[in-house]
Amino acid sequence: MVKHMTWADRLRGGLQKTRAQLNQNAGFLGRDLRSYTRDEGALEDLEMALLAADVGGPATADILRSVQASRRPDLLAALSDALIEQLEPPKQEPAAGSNGLTPWFQPRVKPSPVEPAGHVVMVIGVNGVGKTTTIAKLGQHYMEHGKSVMFGAGDTFRAAAGAQLEVWGNRLGVPVVQGKEGGDPAAVAFDAADKRKARGTDLLLVDTAGRLHNQTNLMQELQKVHRVIGKADAGEPAEVWMVLDAVTGQNGLQQAKKFNEAIALTGVVVTKLDGTAKGGILIPIVRELGVPIKFIGVGEQADDLQPFNAAEYVEALLAQ
């Protein structure tokens, strides 16, 4: 019988390249923190290893500082604390008085990071990052968690994107709202949002175009899709998640910044972490975009996409 792989196994397996790179270059196996931080060569190796994992300069400097200041007995514990701190979602406390409440009476309970804030999630990202398969995997995830799901096939520009989503929809038993190939993506989005509302479905995941003739048009198109969803269903989409391919590293992050300027992201899904030794890219994503990572993908199977948890991620990265 094939042993059922747990998410921890999949995550460790998926992060194997980044872990190997860190272990090999940082040489922190079994090192005592005090001797390590007194050893300039070792600290430099750690710095290089973090940079090679795409952690980025500013975060690497912060991590080194907090490792040096740590009171933990061993390096792994100190490094683990520092990495988790970098990966925790930014504090998005509302500005004092912004909702008319006094500053000491702000709501403390935030929705869990994987629980969408409303009923419609608009999913954006450039072609090839794994957007369509991510939508299918998200659909499966939420169904397994007892939610009713719908898909909106809003990528009318990529030949076969709609057909691909239809295949997934049939497989999962998820209704798919389709438009005409080459047709208006905003019309599909409106139709899908309208149907979701009428049927009372828990969650609509809207696929969007990843490429048009030029980037300016793409941004305008996405803004239009966003607006139109709000016309069909006020207050939606509650979430805009961008799918990023980890293999594209810093380039992907630069792209995400442009998208974030055009349409405010509420979350990021990072795919293909199994294909890269640069799994540190999650840190500048959180730091520079200021939005939380919602899910991560470490393979092609449906179970290879799971909610992101900083402590779990760091454990898998540093596991010996």
Which residue number, 209 or 286, has a Cβ lying nearer to ligand GDP?
209
Smallest gap from residue 302 Cβ to ligand GDP (A): 10
118 annotated as belonging to a binding site for a ligand = no
Least distance to ligand GDP, CB of residue 14, Å: 7
20 is in an annotated binding site: no
Q: DSSP labels for 41-86?
A: HHHHHHHHHHHHTT--HHHHHHHHHHHHH---SBHHHHHHHHHHHH
Q: Which CB, 124 or 318, lies closer to ligand GDP? A: 124
Residue 152 CB, nearest approach to ligand GDP (Å) = 14
Shortest separation between residue 94's beta carbon and ligand GDP, angstroms = 34
**Is 257 labelled as part of a ligand binding site?**
no
Residues 277, 246: contact at Cβ < 8 Å? no
Asked whether the CA dihedral 12, 15, 19, 22 is positive or negative, the reply is negative
Residue 210 in marked binding region: yes
For residue 296, the SS3 value is strand
Residue 100 among known ligand-binding residues: no
91 is in an annotated binding site: no
- Cβ 119 to ligand GDP, closest distance in Å? 22
Q: Between 133 and 309, name the residue whose CB sits nearer to ligand GDP.
A: 133
Q: What does the block give as tokens for 68?
A: 């040096």
Residue with smaller CB distance to ligand GDP, 130 or 175 = 130
Residues in binding site: 125-132, 207-211, 271-274
Residues in binding site for GTP: 125-132, 207-211, 271-274
